[in-house]
Amino acid sequence: MSLSENQDSNNTNSITDIAYQQQRIDLAAAFQTAAKLNLHEAVANHFSLMVNETGTEFLINPNQRHFSLIKASDILLLDANDPTTMDRPDAPDPTAWGLHGSVHRHIPHARCIMHVHSPYATALACLEDNSLPPLDQNCAMFYQRYAIDTNYGGLALEAEGERCSRLLSDPKIKVLIMSNHGLLVLGDSVADTFNRLYYFERAAMTYIHALQTGKKLRILSHEIAEKTAQELEQYSGQATRHFSDLKTILDREGSDYKD
C-alpha cells in the first residue's frame, strides 16, 4: 500500500491504521523513555521506523516536539522519495528529513534509526580518537560493529544525510559514531534499536569513566571481544524483554504514550 493510500485509509479508521498503531505506540514509548534516561536533546534528535518492505515509507517524530511529550498520534508518516515532504504543513525538522530520509532511501536494512546527542556517546564523538575499545562486555557488544564518521560538515541537512548514509551499507554496521556530533543507531525494530542505543550509551559511559581515572586500560583481546560480540548477538529475546518492561514502567506511571 502506498503512502497516499494509507493516509486516505486513516480517515476511515481502517485496519491499515490499526496495523500502524502498534509501531506508533512503540516509537512513542521509545521517545518518552529516552527523555527519562537522559538520552535525548529536548526538541531535537529523531527516531524513525520503516513501515513498508523497501524502507522508503517511515514513521518519525514531529518537528520540535519534546521527547517526553510525544504520543503515538503525534508521529508523522513520510515517504523518503517524496520531494514535496518539506512543503507539508506538518513538515518534519529539516535535519530529520535530511538524515533519516537519506538513510531510509538508500539503506533498506535500516528498518529503525535512532539519532541522539546522548551525553557519553557525544563525549566519545568529541575525542580525537572516537573508537570504543572492548573494555568490558557492554563495550565488546559493539566490537567491529560500528563506523566512525570523521567528516562532520554541519547540520544533517540532505547533503550531509546522503554522505552519512554511504557509511552504513554494510549490514554488520549497527552504529555510526558521528564525530563532533553524536550517535546514529540502526536496528530491526524499535525494541532492537533502543536496546542497542541504551547499551552503547552505557558502554561509552564506562569508557569515559575509565579514562578519567588516568590509569592504564585493560582491553580485551580481539578473540575474546569478537567471541563476546557474537554471543551477545545470539542471546535472543533480551531486547524485546527489555523494551516490554520499559513500556510497563511507562504504563505504571500513567504515561499517555499510547494516545
**pLDDT tens-place string over residues 101-159:** 999 999 999 999 999 999 999 999 999 999 999 999 999 999 999 999 999 887 777 78
Q: Residue 114: what are its φ and ψ, rounded to 5°?
A: -125, 120
Query: Is 89 inside any structural domain?
Result: yes
Query: Is 259 inside any structural domain?
Result: no
Query: Is 258 inside any structural domain?
Result: no
DSSP states of 13-80: T-HHHHHHHHHHHHHHHHHHHHHHTT--BTTB-EEEEE-STTS-EEEEPPTT--GGG--GGG-EEEET
Q: Are 103 and 164 in contact (CB under 8 A)?
A: yes
| Tens of pLDDT, residues 25-77 | 999 999 999 999 999 999 999 999 999 988 789 999 999 999 999 999 999 99
Query: Is 107 inside any structural domain?
Result: yes
Query: Is 45 inside any structural domain?
Result: yes
Query: Is 68 inside any structural domain?
Result: yes
CATH of the domain at 8: 3.40.225.10
Query: Is 257 inside any structural domain?
Result: no
- Whole-angstrom Cα Rg for the chain: 18
CA-to-CA distance for 9 and 192, rounded, in angstroms?
29
Give the Cβ contact number of residue 35 at 10 Å: 17
Residue 254, sorted as left (phi over 0), alpha (psi -120 to 50) or beta, turns out to be left
Measured torsion, CA atoms of residues 120, 41, 157, 82, in degrees rounded to the nearest 10 = 120
CA-to-CA distance for 110 and 107, rounded, in angstroms?
6
Query: Is 242 inside any structural domain?
Result: yes
Which residues form the domain of 141? 3-252
Number of domains in the chain: 1
